[in-house]
């Protein structure tokens, strides 16, 4: 049986980009979801807030950029879907951000919950 595993959200998609710079350090990548644009603007500039249209269960909500905290420059680094990184100088997010009642972290994705039964057999017939 394949066991499921908890993985930080962006490590799945961006591990190559991250390890290309610091191969021995895995950074905690975060993304926040907000109940409104005003909430989002408390942490990010408006152009960094995106309507959360992909998650249909959370329509009307907003998401900030995917980011990790660079302790060297003490700023967040945004990560695009293609793995490119951009230093964010106009955000209000802090390194201690844990997610509060007005928003929640979007950093918990689990994989491996499908596929265990196949054990080499085709899924087709």
Partner 1 sequence: MERLIVDARPDFGKRLESQGLSFHGWDNYWKEDACYSFTLEQVEEIEAATELLYHMCIAAMQFAIDNNRLGQLGIPQNFWGAIAESFAQNEFSLYGRFDLAYDGVNPPKLLEYNADTPTSLLESAVCQWYWMKDVYRDQDQFNSLHEKLVDRWKLLPGDEPIYVASISQNEEDWVCATYVCETITQAGRTAKHIYIEDIGWHSDANQFVDANGNAIVNLFKLYPWEWLMREEFGQYIVQSNTRFIEPIWKSVLSCKGLLAILWELYPGHPNLLAAYFEPGRLDAYAKKPLYSREGANVELINNGKVIARDDGPYGAEGFIYQALCTLPSFDNRYPVIGSWIVGNESAGMCIREDVSPITTNMSNFVPHFFKV
Where along the sequence are the contacts to partner 1 (CB under 8 A)? 2, 4, 9-10, 12-13, 31, 33, 52, 54-58, 66, 81, 104-106, 108-125
Phi, psi for residue 101 in degrees, rounded to 5: -65, -25
Least distance in angstroms from the C-beta of 115 to partner 1: 4
Determine the Cα–Cα distance for residues 12 and 79; give it in Å rounded to an integer: 13
State in angstroms the smallest separation of the CB of 72 from partner 1: 26
CB closer to partner 1, 90 vs 108: 108
CB of 22 to partner 1, least distance (A): 21
| 14 or 93: CB nearest partner 1 | 14
For partner 1, give the closer residue by CB, 90 or 115: 115
d(CA 65, CA 91) in angstroms, rounded, equals 10
Burial of residue 40 (number of CB atoms within 10 Å: 0-12, 13-18, 19+): buried
Q: Please, is 105 exposed, middle or buried when counting C-beta atoms within 10 Å of its C-beta (0-12, 13-18, 19+)? A: middle
Residue closer to partner 1 by CB (options 15, 37) is 15
- CB of residue 80 vs partner 1: minimum separation in angstroms? 10
């Amino acid at each position: 049986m394949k066991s499921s595993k908890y993985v930080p959200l962006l490590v799945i998609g961006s591990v190559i980009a991250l390890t290309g710079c610091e191969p021995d350090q895995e950074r905690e990548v975060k993304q926040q979801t907000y109940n409104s644009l005003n909430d989002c603007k408390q942490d990010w500039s408006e152009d960094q807030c995106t309507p959360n249209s992909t998650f249909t269960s959370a329509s009307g909500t907003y998401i900030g950029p995917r980011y990790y905290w660079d302790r060297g420059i003490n700023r967040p680094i945004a990560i695009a879907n293609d793995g490119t990184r951009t230093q964010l100088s106009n955000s209000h997010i802090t390194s201690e951000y844990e997610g509060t009642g007005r928003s929640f972290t979007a950093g918990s994705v689990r994989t491996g919950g499908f596929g265990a039964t196949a054990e080499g057999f085709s899924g087709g017939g």
